[in-house]
């Protein structure tokens, strides 16, 4: 009897221990327990609110195979373009908050939110996972259009003064950070208020980077605002001419191009891109993806991509908390800008 009792006690202890392990595993895998563990079981979707060929899409493409390898499940990129990024953000917000859909966002979405263009409260509905890059905007010119008219930024400004409304500037988000950087720069250079820039240069919105670049190469568009990484090939071919970098320092990929700070122009807005999730998403899934993103970001191949596209000129990766703080500070900056141009009271 004594021997049977000992065996029984051991068996009970083993069953109890096994149950505890199973229970803990179930908690961490699906409910967002404090361990931060998450079991990925199916395809992850990364929504890009802008078209193929632009900087936003280009930021995600090199991440895709890295995340698939790290997480062990397929990762797809879905481009839902239009309305300055609003269509993609709305699409992502409508998806289940189950940990399998994320969306790329920039300051342009902050501007949409401030103007009440989005049909929901952006800050309440979406939360950052991590910031990936912070690019530098370039004001560029079509070589075909500028030939015989101007050769550099100062000459372009003089031409715009002498030929109001002849120049047109293309961008992906005419209500976003592209417009802010362009108008702040040209207002200072022209010596006019930000709203009066429209009297000299027309603004044209494009759905994707490829469409914008084609218009510039063909000479149908005189100027453009792009991240320095988006048009490297066309700069190297000579089809697009960088006029000025809208930043505190020169861009490593085009070191001969002056920056706004050199000219005494306080215009440094550059597009940062971060992945966001619905706030109702299980925290364990968000934490797991954040860990995977950092691992992918630190990989030799992504670092090489960053270097080749001048993304290392500014601080790129940032945690959820750091990204949230950055967004909060830029809400203040863009609120002031929208008040200056009369959109907000």
210-224 pLDDT per residue, tens: 899 999 999 999 999
Alpha helix positions (H), the chain: 2-30, 55-60, 63-71, 86-93, 107-114, 122-125, 143-146, 153-162, 177-190, 209-217, 232-237, 283-297, 300-308, 320-340
Looking at the structure, tell me whether residues 240 and 312 fall in a common domain: no
Lowest mean pLDDT among 250-254, 262-266, 336-340: 336-340
Confidence band of 297 (pLDDT split at 50, 70, 90): very high
pLDDT of residue 287: 97
Looking at the structure, tell me whether residues 197 and 313 fall in a common domain: no
pTM of the model: 0.78
pLDDT of residue 333: 87
Domain with 326, as residue range(s), is: 44-134+271-340
163-200 pLDDT per residue, tens: 999 999 999 877 788 889 999 999 999 999 999 999 99
Looking at the structure, tell me whether residues 149 and 258 fall in a common domain: yes
94 burial via Cβ count (<10 Å: 0-12, 13-18, 19+): exposed
Number of domains the chain is built from: 2
319-342 pLDDT per residue, tens: 999 999 999 999 998 998 899 888
Q: Which residue(s) pair with 196 in the sheet?
A: none
Polymer length in residues for the chain: 345
110-136 pLDDT per residue, tens: 999 999 999 999 999 999 999 999 989
Q: What CATH number is attached to the domain comprising 224?
A: 3.40.190.10
Distance, in Å, from the CA atom of 261 to the CA atom of 249, rounded to the nearest integer, reads: 7
Q: Is the pLDDT of residue 204 over 90?
A: yes
264 vs 26 pLDDT, higher one: 264
Looking at the structure, tell me whether residues 127 and 172 fall in a common domain: no
pLDDT of residue 304: 95
Q: What CATH number is attached to the domain comprising 287?
A: 3.40.190.150
């Amino acid at each position: 009897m004594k021997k049977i009792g000992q065996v029984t006690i051991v068996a009970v202890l083993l069953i109890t221990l096994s149950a505890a392990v199973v229970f803990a595993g179930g908690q961490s895998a699906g409910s967002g327990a404090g361990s931060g563990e998450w079991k990925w079981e199916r395809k992850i979707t990364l929504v890009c609110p802008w078209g193929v060929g632009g900087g936003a899409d280009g930021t995600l493409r090199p991440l895709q195979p890295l995340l698939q390898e790290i997480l062990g499940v397929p990762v797809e990129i879905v481009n839902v373009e239009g309305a300055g990024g609003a269509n993609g953000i709305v699409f992502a917000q409508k998806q289940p908050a189950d940990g399998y859909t994320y969306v790329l966002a920039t300051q342009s979405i902050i501007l949409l939110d401030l103007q009440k263009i989005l049909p929901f409260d952006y800050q309440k509905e979406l939360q950052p996972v991590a910031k990936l890059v912070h690019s530098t905007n370039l004001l560029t010119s079509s070589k075909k259009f500028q030939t015989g008219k101007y050769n550099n930024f100062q000459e372009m400004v003089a031409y715009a003064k002498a030929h109001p409304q002849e120049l047109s500037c293309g961008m992906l988000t005419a209500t976003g950070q592209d417009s802010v950087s362009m108008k702040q720069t040209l207002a200072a250079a022209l010596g006019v208020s930000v709203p009066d820039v429209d009297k000299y240069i027309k603004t044209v919105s494009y759905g994707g980077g490829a469409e914008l670049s084609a218009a510039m190469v063909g000479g149908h568009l005189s100027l453009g605002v792009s991240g320095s990484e988006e048009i490297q090939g066309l700069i190297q071919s000579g089809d697009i001419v960088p006029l000025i970098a809208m930043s505190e320092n020169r861009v490593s990929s085009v070191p001969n191009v002056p920056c706004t700070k050199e000219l005494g122009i306080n215009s440094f807005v550059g597009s940062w891109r971060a992945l966001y999730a619905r706030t109702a998403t299980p925290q364990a899934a968000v934490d797991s993806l954040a860990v995977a993103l950092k691992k992918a970001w630190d990989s030799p191949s992504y670092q090489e991509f960053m270097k080749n596209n001048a993304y290392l000129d500014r601080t790129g990766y940032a945690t959820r908390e750091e990204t949230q703080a950055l967004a909060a500070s830029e809400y203040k900056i863009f609120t002031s800008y929208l008040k200056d141009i009369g959109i907000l009271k």
